[in-house]
């Protein structure tokens, strides 16, 4: 079956190492095997197996789609969340919801703290990415207004805000004014 052969391909990839070239080969094999639109049986196998090369902090590994966050700002989000280490194949990008990729994060205090840590460590990486992460924070506190105070506490303690000025630096909310 497709699932059995996929398992063998992924075992071989695991032995070859979690590199970009290995992942590119796995993606090409899957794309040829499923054509442009996977059937439900193939989708079920692809949802349950670790075939997506993910990156989090200094780690790179094959992960299941449900563990990978597909969100703008990934160059910052990778500090605490698994994001794609390599562009997804076309069939997976077009049907990301069917594969179970994460499109957002839960509205929790832990998520806000993790986002704050991401901003502290990588906010200077990319201005656009930082703006997307600030948008995600806004979405989370809009979803659960009880988290506004939690975010304010985080922002008082950590330099999560980036000044988009001539002198590019990060500051806490207290230092903003």
If we measure between CA atoms, which residue out of 35, 96, 25 comes closest to residue 9? 25
Q: pLDDT tens digits for 49-69? A: 999 999 999 999 999 999 999
Per-position DSSP letters for 115-159, written without gaps between them:
HHHHHHHHGGG-HHHHHHHHHHHHHHHHH-GGGHHHHHHHHHHS-
pLDDT for residue 134: 93
pLDDT tens digits, one per residue of 140-175: 999 999 999 999 999 999 999 877 665 666 777 777
Using the Cα atoms of residue 3, residue 9, residue 14 and residue 17 in order, give the sign of their dihedral.
negative
Q: Is the pLDDT of residue 80 over 90?
A: yes
Task: Round the average pLDDT of the chain to a whole number and report it.
Answer: 90
Q: Contact, 47 vs 65, CB < 8 A?
A: yes
DSSP 8-state secondary structure symbol assigned to residue 57: T
Q: Residue 176 — very low, low, confident or very high, per pLDDT cuts 50/70/90?
A: low
Mean pLDDT calculated for residue range 113-122: 93
Q: Is the distance from CB of 152 to CB of 109 less than 8 angstroms?
A: no
- What gap in Å lies between CA 103 and CA 80, rounded to an integer? 15
146 vs 38: CA distance, rounded Å: 41
User: Token match 């391909």: residue?
Assistant: 9
Closest CA to 132 of 115, 114, 146: 115
Q: Would you state the pLDDT for residue 162?
A: 77
Alpha-carbon distance values, 154 to 15, 95, 104, 170, 171 (Å): 42, 35, 20, 14, 12
pTM: 0.88
Q: What is the mean pLDDT of residues 27-31?
A: 94
Q: Is 69 exposed, middle or buried (0-12, 13-18, 19+ CB in 10 A)?
A: buried
């Amino acid at each position: 079956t497709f699932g059995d052969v996929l398992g063998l391909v992924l075992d071989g990839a695991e032995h070859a190492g979690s590199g970009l070239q290995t992942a590119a080969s796995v993606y090409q094999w899957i794309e040829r095997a499923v054509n442009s639109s996977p059937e439900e049986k193939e989708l079920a196998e692809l949802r349950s197996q670790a075939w997506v090369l993910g990156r989090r902090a200094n780690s790179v590994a094959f992960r299941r789609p449900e563990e990978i966050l597909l969100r703008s700002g990934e160059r910052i989000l990778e500090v605490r969340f698994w994001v794609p280490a390599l562009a997804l194949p076309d069939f997976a990008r077009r049907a990301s919801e069917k594969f179970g990729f994460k499109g957002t994060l839960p509205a929790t205090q832990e998520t806000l703290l993790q986002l704050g840590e991401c901003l502290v460590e990588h906010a200077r990486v990319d201005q656009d990415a930082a703006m997307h992460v600030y948008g995600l924070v806004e979405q989370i506190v809009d979803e659960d207004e009880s988290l506004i105070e939690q975010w304010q506490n985080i922002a008082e303690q950590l330099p999560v805000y980036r000044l988009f000025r001539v002198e590019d630096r990060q500051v806490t909310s207290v230092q903003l004014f």
